[in-house]
Amino acid sequence: MNENEEIQPGRILVLCALPYTNAVPHIGNIVGSHLPADIFARYCRLRGKETLFIGGADENGTPTEVATIELHVSPKQLTDALYLIHKKIYNWFWISYDNFSRTSTSTHHKTTQEFFSKIYENGYISEGVLSLPYCEHDKLFLPDRYVEGTCPYCQYSKARGDQCEQCTRLLDPDQLLKPRCKICGNTPIVKESKHLFLELEKLIPQLDEWIRSNKHWRIQVISLALGWIKEGLKRRCITRDLKWGVPVPLEGYKEKVLYVWFDAPIGYLSFTKEWAETNNMPEEWRNYWDLEKGKEAKIYNFIGKDNIPFHTIFWPAMIMAHGGLKLPYNVIGLQYCNYEGDKISKSRSWGIFCEKLPESGVDSDVWRYYLTYLIPETKDSDFKWEDFENRVNSEYVGNIGNFIHRTSTFVWKYLGGELPAVQLNKEESIVKEIFLTKKKIEELLDNVRLRDALTEILSLSDKGNRYFQENKPWELIKGSETDKEKCVHIIYVCTLLSISLSILLEPFIPKTSERILNQLNINFQEKWDSIGHPFSKVKHKINEPHVLFEKLTKEKVEMLKATVTKMTPLEEFLRKEKES
């Protein structure tokens, strides 16, 4: 990472990996993209940047189509239900999307088809014929993993067409003994089908140069991308024999749809366009995407490590083949978040599943606070209930919460809820600390170092607690007039520190930050720039302080654990959806 990089003037487009909506999001999905993207987007807005935060549901592709066959529902019924669940959960987490859309919208279909046509006109599309497994019963071409059979090496009877889970060997579907369709169990036949391909090899030099130029990318991202280039790129099939998806706008291919990995990233563009249209500024998207009009803009992609090749190779290649559009400025490839030492798994029901969180009685900011520590910036992280409880109680409630609470209750009880305007000494070390921390946090967040930034904030509140302790205002208030004046000064500084902390914390715990500022009766226009500066020229009255955060009890944690680690099956969701 380039530590000296700074956010320059110009717009910021924050893009979050589009969740594939074939299930309810789990905690790993939140920590792995939505939360870090949101923290960064909120920070950019707080700094006064014109910021746009875009995401949406990825609804096309084989798994969705297969699920509709298995569940006997239409694709629309399924995706409508899942879209609403996803949206509800992200809203609950206060993920501040400017537009959280979906790939089944007409704007998306139109944008994708135009995008395809442009690439086609530019000569980056070729034709070819593939022989693929086909199920005559389900009338469906089967992707490798939807063909099951016996492994030729270890005789495992449930090997998939792409890999045997028992002996981990990579396979081809035609190697399987006794192959059968995963959906209905019938034996698939092999059938030829015409397909379209993206000519990636034409773009190798351009891609290579671009990847190498991005010195500010994380090591994991740049190494993986260069690894793909080194291996050599070949043309990639971009069409599928499915009904559910974006139809291919080309004669002879109208019965097919574009591959979900072709249409999904175009969602970033189409959802931006949709946002612009909705807000009656139909050309505004160009200020983020257009090579000329959006020259000063920067695009940040937040994605999981499984997505790195798509965002560093295939999607950039599509942009290059299209022309006239901006490439990502930074691809923040995050690692995975495990649960209690093992990877999160929907099928084994291992992890925390988000659908019950809104009813859990634990504030979303409590989750956001702890989950920020779990953002797997450099390596896989691990969720542990014990750590969750400890950190929330000792840091969030005990350190930050306590400092703000002890300060404001002191003002309320001993100073009648009022603070006079005080002459601040900028040389006072604790005041200097505020400015120093602010600067450090700017550097860290400009470089998308989210966890380190939160740690810095914690250390500032730590210093606040120490300052309070060392200066003993509770003794001074009982002393002489001089002592009382000194006391007021100390409490003023602590209040200033509380205000600064809540502003610094806004990207992380936005709801609580707002509550603190309300309690302290603060309403700044330019929040970030006011950090560390005197908050009033006249007497300042605060509102009656209330406890900001409840501590987590053992019972509460046990209750939580019992509810949120269970996953509701899709069938049940669809039933509920129908009933309501």
Partner RNA sequence: AGCGGGGUGGGGUAGCCAGGUUAACCCGCAGGGCUCAUAACCCUGAAAUCAGAUGUUCAAAUCAUCUCCCCGCUACCA
| Binding positions for RNA, 376-395, rule CB under 7 A | 376-382, 384, 386-387, 390-391, 393-395
Instruction: Mark residues 134-163: x for contact with RNA by CB under 7 A, - for none.
Output: -------xxxxx----------------xx
Helix or strand (DSSP H, E) at 412: helix 402-414
Indicate whether 367 belongs to the interface with RNA (CB under 7 A).
no
Q: Give the residue with the Cβ less far from RNA, 14 or 317.
A: 317
- State both tokens at 206: 């351009």
Length of the chain: 580
Minimum distance, C-beta of residue 396 to RNA, in the bound complex (Å): 9
Choose, by CB under 7 A, the member of 328, 401, 510, 532 that binds RNA.
Answer: 401
Choose, by CB under 7 A, the member of 405, 438, 527, 540 that binds RNA.
Answer: 405
The number of residues that bind RNA (CB under 7 A) is 94
Q: Give the residue with the Cβ less far from RNA, 26 or 236.
A: 236
Write the Ramachandran bin of 546: left for phi over 0, alpha for psi from -120 to 50, otherwise beta.
beta
Which window, 69-77, 107-115, 406-414, 528-536, contacts RNA (CB under 7 A)?
A: 406-414
Minimum distance, C-beta of residue 322 to RNA, in the bound complex (Å): 18
Q: Give the residue with the Cβ less far from RNA, 81 or 200.
A: 200
The HSE-up count of residue 256 (CA atoms within 13 Å, CB side) is 18
Q: Which of 165, 95, 152, 125 is nearest to 364 (CA)?
A: 95
Helix or strand (DSSP H, E) at 494: helix 481-505
Sign of the CA dihedral running 390, 395, 401, 405: positive
Choose, by CB under 7 A, the member of 8, 72, 232, 427 that binds RNA.
Answer: 232
Q: Give the residue with the Cβ less far from RNA, 47 or 343.
A: 343
Q: Give the residue with the Cβ less far from RNA, 13 or 375.
A: 375
Choose, by CB under 7 A, the member of 69, 71, 184, 224 that binds RNA.
Answer: 224
Residue 127: phi and psi, rounded to 5, are -105, 160
- Residues 424 to 453 in contact with RNA, rule: CB under 7 A: 451-452
- Residues 447 to 506 in contact with RNA, rule: CB under 7 A: 451-452, 455, 458-459, 462, 465-466, 468-470, 474-475
Angle between helices 450-471 and 429-446 (to 10 degrees): 170
Sign of the CA dihedral running 271, 277, 283, 287: negative
- Residues 238 to 277 in contact with RNA, rule: CB under 7 A: 240, 259-261, 264
Q: Give the residue with the Cβ less far from RNA, 45 or 182.
A: 182
Minimum distance, C-beta of residue 391 to RNA, in the bound complex (Å): 6
Minimum distance, C-beta of residue 203 to RNA, in the bound complex (Å): 11
Which window, 32-40, 45-53, 218-226, 566-574, contacts RNA (CB under 7 A)?
A: 218-226
Which window, 33-41, 299-307, 357-365, 568-576, contacts RNA (CB under 7 A)?
A: 299-307
Q: How far apart are CA 109 and CA 245, in angstroms?
A: 8
Minimum distance, C-beta of residue 366 to RNA, in the bound complex (Å): 11
How many C-beta atoms lie closer than 10 Å to residue 133's C-beta?
Answer: 22
Minimum distance, C-beta of residue 342 to RNA, in the bound complex (Å): 8
Start-to-end C-alpha separation, the chain? 50
Residues whose CB is less than 8 angstroms from the CB of residue 102 and which lie 6 or more positions away in sequence, other chains included: 21, 56, 57, 59, 79, 83, 108
Q: How far apart are CA 77 and CA 568, in angstroms?
A: 17
Indicate whether 132 belongs to the interface with RNA (CB under 7 A).
yes
Minimum distance, C-beta of residue 262 to RNA, in the bound complex (Å): 10
Q: How far apart are CA 27 and CA 58, in angstroms?
A: 18
Burial of 170 (0-12, 13-18, 19+ CB in 10 A): exposed
- Residues 181 to 210 in contact with RNA, rule: CB under 7 A: 193, 195, 200
The HSE-up count of residue 10 (CA atoms within 13 Å, CB side) is 18
Instruction: Mark residues 33-72: x for contact with RNA by CB under 7 A, - for none.
Output: -------------------------x--xxx---------
Report, in angstroms and rounded to the nearest whole number, the Rg of the chain calculated over CA atoms.
27
Q: Give the residue with the Cβ less far from RNA, 294 or 328.
A: 328
Q: How far apart are CA 140 and CA 138, in angstroms?
A: 5
Choose, by CB under 7 A, the member of 33, 150, 335, 500 that binds RNA.
Answer: 335
Q: Give the residue with the Cβ less far from RNA, 284 or 362.
A: 362
Q: Give the residue with the Cβ less far from RNA, 464 or 510.
A: 464
Q: How far apart are CA 229 and CA 408, in angstroms?
A: 58
Minimum distance, C-beta of residue 565 to RNA, in the bound complex (Å): 18
Choose, by CB under 7 A, the member of 20, 92, 156, 435 that binds RNA.
Answer: 20
**What sections of 165-259 are H helices per DSSP?**
204-213, 219-231
Indicate whether 234 belongs to the interface with RNA (CB under 7 A).
yes
The pairs formed by 531-538 with CB atoms below 8 angstroms and a separation of 24 or more are 531/434, 531/435, 531/438, 531/499, 531/500, 531/503, 531/504, 532/431, 532/434, 532/435, 532/438, 532/496, 532/500, 534/421, 534/422, 534/424, 534/496, 535/495, 535/496, 535/499, 536/419, 536/421, 537/421, 538/421
- Residues 305 to 324 in contact with RNA, rule: CB under 7 A: 305-310
Q: Which residues of 452-463 are buried (b: 16+ CB within 10 A; e: fewer)?
A: ebbbbbbebbeb
Minimum distance, C-beta of residue 126 to RNA, in the bound complex (Å): 14
Which of helix, strand or coil describes residue 475? Answer: helix
- Residues 536 to 565 in contact with RNA, rule: CB under 7 A: 547-551
Minimum distance, C-beta of residue 359 to RNA, in the bound complex (Å): 22
Q: Give the residue with the Cβ less far from RNA, 136 or 296.
A: 136
Q: What CA–CA distances, in Å, run from 406 to 411, 430, 498, 506, 548?
A: 9, 17, 10, 20, 11
